[in-house]
Structure 1
Amino acid sequence: MTIRGRAALTRAIGFAATALLMAGCGTQTSGTAAPTAPSGGSTDIGRVHADSLDSSPPPQYGKVETAPPPAATPTGPCPDSGLRVTAGRAEAAMGLRALRLTLTNCGTGTVEVSGYPRLRLAEADGTPVEDVRILHGTEEITTGVKDPGPHRLTLRRGESAISALVWRNTYDDITEPPVTVDRVGVEPGVGSAQTVTPDAPLDLGSTGRLGTTAWHKG
């Protein structure tokens, strides 16, 4: 073969090799083959799904449930008079003290009461507390607690009347110890006296006065 023939043969072989190389490369730029949709269906590749929103309210973190203070709860059988006396919690504000007495008809009939409760004051061991003036009215103690004055009340079964005791805890006589009252005997005007024990002693200081309101509907 002549030199010209060998050169032509070499060029032909090079063209063929280049054509085979070009056919094997294709056009894919990623090393991962594209997914093929199943027959008769469609692919979800690249589709965005919107999840449904939760409409329930968010949790209340740090929420504090506050229970109301317990009320005075009568215990034991109803007295023969059909009336029960209970004491609430003592309230204090700027030296003024107040205690509510509640008179409840726990019997089966109707009871009439009027006027002011009659009180007997005592220490924890039952020793009477002397030298305390029990006032009918509250004007000498405060103008913030009104006394409706004595009037007749009819209490049906389950109904109640209240009387407020008010005092101040001023203590300005160091020659005598401050007066405290642990027990209060209450005679409601009908039936015998009943003794109640306040949740805290009545701290009368050296004032020597305890005001009361007449029984009235709360």
Structure 2
Amino acid sequence: MSRLLFLLLFAVSACGTSQPVPPPSPSAEACPGGVEFTVKGTEAAMGLRVMTLEATNCGTETLELNGAPLVTVLDADRKPLPVTVRQGAAWISAVEAFDAEPQVVVVRPGESAVTGLLWRNTYTDITAPPVVGEHLEIAVAAGRPTQVFTPVGKSGNPRTIDLGSTGKLGVRPWTAVTP
């Protein structure tokens, strides 16, 4: 009997008017380090790969970026892979935008900047398995906090850094996103 009474009271209390639920407030988990990364596009042709990354300032302070982000390629277990990462791409392929002179990019809260990653998917060393990165550890600039980012495409599918046996990754300097 007491169980039936409890269920009846529960049902009656649930029928009243409900108060609107306030939207969740921003949290450190939703915006680690004040920056949120997204994949804006990928290109692949004849073994040359390019991934465009956008960094949105979801923090409260203005970011001043000069140069390229600091990037470490990580495996499925989030351990660093043997990949040499350098600003520019002349040492991999001639892609002018990657070798442009860095400019200071000011990113106010809510604004974004883009960078790019460039590599070759060439596999010439059969003594070791191909190097495939599934995550990236990124800092927008030296002295800024790093965060682990898992690249996914617009459809939600993972995007890997399939380096073959080259072990080389070029990083493009930051550029502003124009509205």
Aligned length: 141
- Say if 2:72 and 2:85, in contact at 8 Å, map to a contact too: no
Unaligned runs of 5+ in 1: 1-75
Residue 42 of structure 1 corresponds to none
Q: Does 1:125 align with 2:77?
A: yes
What letter corresponds to residue 197 of structure 1 in structure 2?
T
- Say if 1:100 and 1:163, in contact at 8 Å, map to a contact too: yes
Q: Does 1:114 align with 2:66?
A: yes
Residue 118 of structure 2 corresponds to 166
* RMSD of Structure 2 on Structure 1 (CA): 1.8
| 1:165-207: CA deviation from partner (whole Å, max 9, x where unpaired) | 0001011111111111111000111631111112221110111
What letter corresponds to residue 196 of structure 1 in structure 2?
F
The structure with higher relative contact order (CA 8 Å, sep 6+) is 2
Instruction: Name the larger-Rg structure.
Output: 1
- Say if 1:87 and 1:197, in contact at 8 Å, map to a contact too: no
State how far apart, in whole Å, the 1-side matches of 2:63 and 2:81 are: 31
Any idea what SS the aligned residue of 2:170 has?
strand
Instruction: Give every structure 1 segment of 4 or more consecutive aligned residues whose post-TM-superposition deviation is greater than 6 Å.
Output: none
State how far apart, in whole Å, the 1-side matches of 2:61 and 2:86 are: 31
State how far apart, in whole Å, the 1-side matches of 2:51 and 2:63 are: 24
State how far apart, in whole Å, the 1-side matches of 2:90 and 2:139 are: 22
Q: Normalization by structure 1: what TM-score?
A: 0.59
- Say if 2:34 and 2:57, in contact at 8 Å, map to a contact too: yes
Residue 137 of structure 1 corresponds to 88
Mapping for residues 7-18 of structure 1, pairs under 5 Å:
none
Unaligned runs of 5+ in 2: 1-28, 152-157
- Say if 2:132 and 2:163, in contact at 8 Å, map to a contact too: yes
The alignment-based identity, stated in percent, is 40
Any idea what SS the aligned residue of 1:88 has?
strand
Whose strand fraction is larger, Structure 1's or Structure 2's? 2
State how far apart, in whole Å, the 2-side matches of 1:200 and 1:78 are: 21
Mapping for residues 1-218 of structure 1, pairs under 5 Å:
77-79=30-32, 81-130=33-82, 132-147=83-98, 148-189=100-141, 191-198=144-151, 199-218=158-177
| 1:43-97: CA deviation from partner (whole Å, max 9, x where unpaired) | xxxxxxxxxxxxxxxxxxxxxxxxxxxxxxxxx6233x43222233432111110
